[in-house]
């Protein structure tokens, strides 16, 4: 009884100690750091509970932005802001679009004596300004009713148009709620593209109505190799897929936060789950199992069988219906050609297409190029562009394909020289499934490789040897979070954070503004947001 009364008193004291508190906002603590922070005077503007927010009420995107602002201040700080469409300069916070002042994704925030004016190059820019406004307010343990903002003008515009994070829901299954939390985190870090890896050897995780077995049978594996031992298996089934309604829900949830979801259907390799359902699409005819081991499988889609392309067109018909993204990722990585070398149908295709070995590429490498181009041509009829992993350069590929450079930066350099657009994801810097501490024994199991946060921070997607024209082909940068050894949301966030914070500065800041010392100071308080919002994160580089 005494204990209950005491804990009640402590709880009341905790709330009261904060509600009278005034919290000091500081734009200099934000990640990614805004490009410019100019002081306008010594004073402050106090944003109080019940303060008004004005916006163009006839614009649905700005209405949504205003609602986000209100919701963030409620959930972050317990403050109630009042939405007053079209109130104008009488409001404490005015949200506006000013397309002449900055690019589409840029924003400026002016804090004056009378209030805050946040203007963006588009509603998207306003959204990023809202993120900066909320991140300037330190994380609170309990609610507060007043925030003091210094009189400043803050402005920013991202360096790269493509600011991605990748998510693998195949090697382990993650629920819809996790996908949404991940998207929230991306928005918080100013990212705009979710690369969603939906199919692989170990499972098929998207419902395709024309081929129902893909989800029904292909999403299930009876067990998984234990740790890094390829000869021992557990018998814990891994299964799960996203229905088309769930996919639409994710796409909308992301779009509301100005994040485009790019689906990846990895082909012609990494297809064991599909081959398990439709063995006639493989060179040997199977049978094939949904894989219980990680790595690269020799069995891939048969390139000589027209049914393979019919199948893929059926799949992509539905994928395009679900994902409005300009780009579709068609994989192309880690596709051994041993089966093609021995397959009469593949060899007949090589002959019919006149593909020959030459000094640079084998006939089978050119067959992969034929394969990728045939899929690309189909997607072009639907108005889409393709992204492929850097292996697709090997047999030659159409210039319209965007290359995702993962085995290093060399693929990206070569691609930019050939006139391809490029997204940089080099594993030495951007594989968040690698260890982040060199004390491997005391870390959860991870892919072999070491990518500490300062290494992430140090990456420049534009290489010093690139010409200006080549540099213009670098659309941006993302980090990959493969899930072979990641089975829970808690572990996924541990691997992603706080490396995502470093990535956000690589994506947003011009190189001359990057400063690891400053970043690492800001990170000390920034991680309190993760604590507040219940995200697990690694602490090795926080020095505490
Ligand atoms: C990859 O990591 N296989 C693209
Ligand atoms: Zn074949």
Distance CA 514, CA 99 (A): 27
334 is catalytic: yes
Which of 166, 270, 276, 329 is the catalytic position? 270
pLDDT in the model for residue 12:
37
pTM of the model: 0.95
Residue range 259-298, pLDDT digits in tens:
999 999 999 999 999 999 999 999 999 999 999 999 999 9
270 is catalytic: yes
Residues with CB under 6 A from ligand 1: 333-334, 389, 406
Distance CA 419, CA 440 (A): 40
234 is catalytic: no
Q: For residues 430 and 436, is the Cβ–Cβ distance under 8 A?
A: no
Residue range 71-123, pLDDT digits in tens:
999 999 999 999 999 999 999 999 999 988 889 999 999 999 999 999 999 99
Q: For residues 233 and 224, is the Cβ–Cβ distance under 8 A?
A: yes
Residue 138 burial (CB count, 10 A): 18
pLDDT in the model for residue 99:
87
pLDDT in the model for residue 542:
86
Which parts of the chain register pLDDT below 50? 1-19
Cis peptide before 287 (omega within 30 of 0): yes
Ligand 2 being an ion, which residues bring their Cβ within 5 A of it?
A: 283, 302, 304, 343, 345-346
Residue 352, class by beta-carbon neighbours within 10 Å (0-12 exposed, 13-18 middle, 19+ buried)? exposed
Distance CA 55, CA 119 (A): 10
pLDDT in the model for residue 102:
85
pLDDT in the model for residue 20:
58
Residue owning the nearest CA to atom 3 of ligand 1: 333
pLDDT in the model for residue 141:
81
By residue count, the chain amounts to: 544
Distance CA 109, CA 37 (A): 9
Distance CA 243, CA 208 (A): 8
Which of 246, 289, 334, 533 is the catalytic position? 334
User: Ligand 1, closest atom to CA 427?
Assistant: 2
- Strand spans (E) along 401-520: 402-405, 422-424, 434-435, 447-450, 474-479
């Amino acid at each position: 009884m005494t204990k209950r009364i005491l804990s009640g008193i402590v709880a009341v004291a905790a709330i009261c100690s904060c509600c009278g508190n005034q919290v000091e906002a500081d734009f200099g603590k934000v990640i990614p750091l805004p490009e410019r922070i100019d002081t306008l005077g010594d004073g402050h503007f106090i944003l109080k509970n019940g303060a008004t927010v004005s916006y163009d009420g006839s614009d649905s995107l700005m209405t949504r932005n205003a609602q986000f602002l209100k919701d963030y201040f409620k959930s972050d700080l317990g403050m109630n802001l009042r939405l007053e469409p079209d109130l104008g300069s009488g409001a404490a916070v005015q949200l506006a679009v000013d397309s002449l002042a900055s690019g589409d994704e840029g924003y400026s925030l002016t804090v004056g004596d009378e209030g805050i004016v946040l203007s963006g190059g588009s509603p998207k820019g306003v959204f990023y300004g809202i993120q900066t406004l909320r991140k300037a307010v330190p994380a609170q343990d309990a609610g507060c009713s007043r925030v003091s903002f210094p009189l400043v003008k803050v402005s920013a515009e991202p360096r790269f148009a493509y600011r991605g994070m990748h998510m693998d829901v195949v090697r382990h299954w993650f629920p819809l709620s996790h996908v949404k939390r991940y998207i929230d985190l991306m928005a918080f870090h100013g990212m705009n593209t979710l690369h969603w890896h939906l199919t692989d050897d170990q499972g098929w995780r998207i419902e395709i109505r024309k081929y129902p077995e893909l989800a029904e049978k292909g999403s299930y594996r009876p067990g998984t190799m234990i740790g890094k031992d390829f000869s021992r298996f557990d018998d814990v089934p891994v299964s799960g897929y996203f229905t088309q309604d769930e996919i639409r829900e994710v796409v909308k949830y992301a779009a509301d936060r100005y994040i485009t979801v790019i689906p990846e259907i990895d082909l012609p390799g990494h297809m064991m789950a599909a081959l398990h359902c439709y063995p006639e699409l493989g060179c040997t005819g199977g049978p094939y199992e949904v894989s219980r081991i990680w790595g690269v499988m020799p069995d891939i889609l048969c390139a000589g069988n027209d049914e393979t392309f019919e199948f893929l067109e059926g799949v992509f018909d539905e994928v395009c219906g679900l994902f409005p993204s300009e780009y579709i990722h068609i994989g192309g990585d880690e596709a051994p050609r041993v089966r093609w070398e021995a397959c009469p149908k593949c060899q007949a295709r090589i002959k019919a297409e006149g593909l020959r070995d030459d000094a640079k590429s084998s006939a089978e490498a050119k067959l992969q190029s034929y394969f990728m181009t045939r899929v690309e041509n189909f997607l072009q009829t639907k108005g889409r562009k393709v992204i492929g992993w850097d292996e697709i350069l090997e047999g030659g590929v159409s210039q319209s394909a965007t290359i995702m450079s993962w085995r290093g930066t060399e693929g990206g350099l070569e691609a930019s020289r050939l006139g391809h657009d490029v997204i940089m994801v080099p594993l030495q810097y951007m594989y968040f499934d690698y260890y982040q501490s060199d004390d491997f024994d005391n870390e959860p199991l991870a892919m072999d490789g070491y990518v500490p946060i300062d290494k992430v921070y140090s990456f420049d997607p534009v290489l010093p040897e690139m010409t200006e024209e080549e540099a213009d082909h670098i659309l941006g940068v993302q980090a990959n979070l493969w899930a072979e050894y990641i089975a829970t949301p808690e572990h996924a966030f541990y691997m992603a954070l706080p490396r995502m914070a470093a990535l956000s500065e690589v994506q947003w800041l011009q190189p001359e503004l990057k400063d690891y010392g400053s970043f690492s100071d800001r990170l000390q308080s920034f991680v309190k947001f993760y604590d507040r919002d219940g995200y697990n994160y690694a602490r090795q580089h926080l020095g505490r």
